[in-house]
Amino acid sequence: MRAVNLIAHNEVTLLESGVELFPAMIAAIEDAQYDIYFETYIFADDDTGRAVEGALIKAAQRGVKVRVVTDWWGTGNQQCKRLRDAFVEGGVHFRAFNSWFRRGVARTHRKVTVVDRTVAFVGGININDDWFCDYDARKRLPAPRWDFAVQVVGPLVSTIHHEAQAQWARVGRLGLMKRINLFREMRKQPLPDSDKPVQAAFVVRDSLRNRHTIQRAYLQAIGRAKKSVLLVNPYFAPGHKFRKALAVAGQRGVEVQLLIGVGEIWLQDMVARSFYPKLLASGVKVYEYRKTQLHAKVAVVDDDWSTVGSSNCDGLSLFLNQEANIVVKDEAFAQTMREHILEGIGDAVPVLAEEFEHVSWIRRSGYEAAYFLYKMTMRIFAIGYA
């Protein structure tokens, strides 16, 4: 199993929800001098989206080369059209990923911004208001959506920039000369530097060379865990290998705590609950987060391994969609992430084993039927899910 390629001497700052991400991101865009690569799943037509859109257009109008990719399905056809018109008028280059499913069913679920190859933002946060639901912009949440991203400064940014540039080329149809010009632009820009010792890696999932990279990173970390595993995910429906890794860790005495978002999609909740009995029997502690919409995809293993990104622990993210995570090997960062997760667990409802011992056969059968339907669907569209 290939190891994650960690790069040293980075500064990685954890950002909680849009209230911390968007000011930092807009400030970086406003300081841009060379180019901006910007990729997101949802780019909403709300105050938050308009603020980011305006910053990108202003950057382009002062000579920065701005390239934006949004997912056609996540952002919506009408909003993609509106963005295209506004961006073209403002000098921003825009592309919608996989319009009308012309390249199959896979989506880009990544949230990646790179400015001047000196600072990058990676995480799970879409470009939309924290107070409104992802799947219904008219539905106000009881509390701000809970999510995370990171700001990265240092040598790793060059790797993120290269992948963002490659994604731009993949989404469009570039001739040889345009590809050469893109490469020249990359070489002109200054390399970032940092006095921080943090080791970090940029881990992506695609359907070519990186089909299982993100799951592999999780499995390596969980398999090596000696003390604890803290895992937060809104849509928990991984394959057998992932569930087994969590169960085995719990059986060998590792404290495994799983925080799952519920209340959005009833079928998704039923699939996740079909896994509870075996996980609980293995010593895994399960919590359901009901305070507001949980959108965070984060984890901490032992004292120094963490990940923040866009990848859910389900068939779509681990085996089909394009995703991007940051893996951080650093005790201070892990401690900060741990404190946030434990706070979330404090706001959650623990799932007790005895509750599932008395679940009616009708409900239990419903859970199993939901998982069977999900598994069959994933086997059709997501090669490798089992």
Show which residues are catalytic.
Answer: 109, 111, 116, 295, 297, 302
Our CA dihedral for 170, 175, 177, 181, rounded to 10 degrees, sits at -20
Query: How many other CB atoms are there within 10 angstroms of residue 264's CB atom?
Result: 16
Which one-letter DSSP state was computed for residue 41?
S
Question: Residues 279, 248: contact at Cβ < 8 Å?
Answer: no
**Which residues, including other chains, have CB under 8 Å from residue 96's CB and lie 6 or more apart?**
69, 70, 71, 72, 75, 80, 84
CB 20 within 8 A of CB 100: no
E strands of 3-42, at which residues?
Answer: 7-16, 35-40
DSSP 314: B
Under DSSP, is residue 336 helix (H, G, I), strand (E, B) or coil?
A: helix
CB atoms near residue 247 (< 10 Å): 19
Strand partners, 233: 260
Name the 3-class secondary structure at 285.
strand
Closest CA to 325 of 311, 336, 337: 311
